Amino acid sequence: MSNREAGDGFSDIQILIDDAETGIVIEVKYAQDGDLEAECQKALTQMRALHYEEGMRSAGMRKILKYGIACWKKTVKLWWKVSHWCDRKPELRDRWQRSPGFCD
C-alpha cells in the first residue's frame, strides 16, 4: 500500500488478504525501559491516530486484525485488536485482547 492508501503514515507491516476480505496491521515497538504493556498500547494508539484502518477499509477489507508488539531484550508482548465491519449496521465493533503473557 502507498502512504496515502495506508492513512496518514506508515505501519511496520500491512497485509491484505483479498479472498477473505481481511487486513492485518503490525506495529512493533522497542521498550527502552522494559514497560512492554505501555509500548503495546502506544503501537495500537498509533494505528488509530494515523488512521491505518481507513486505507484497508477503502480497499474492501471487512475484518482488520491489528497487532501491537513490544520487545525488550529477550522478552516480547503482544496485544491485538479485531475490528469487524457489519453490513446491516454501518458501525465498527471492536474487541481488545491481550496475549496471555510473555513469550520468548
The DSSP code sequence of 28-70 is EEE-TTS-HHHHHHHHHHHHHHTTHHHHHHHTT-SEEEEEEEE
Ranked by mean pLDDT, the top range of 19-23, 24-28, 85-89 is 24-28
Grade residue 7 by pLDDT with cuts at 50, 70 and 90: low
Beta bridge partners, 29, equal 70
pLDDT at 94 over 80: no
Task: Report pLDDT digits (tens) over 55-81.
Answer: 888 888 989 999 999 999 999 999 998
Whether pTM exceeds 0.75: no
- pLDDT for 56 equals 87
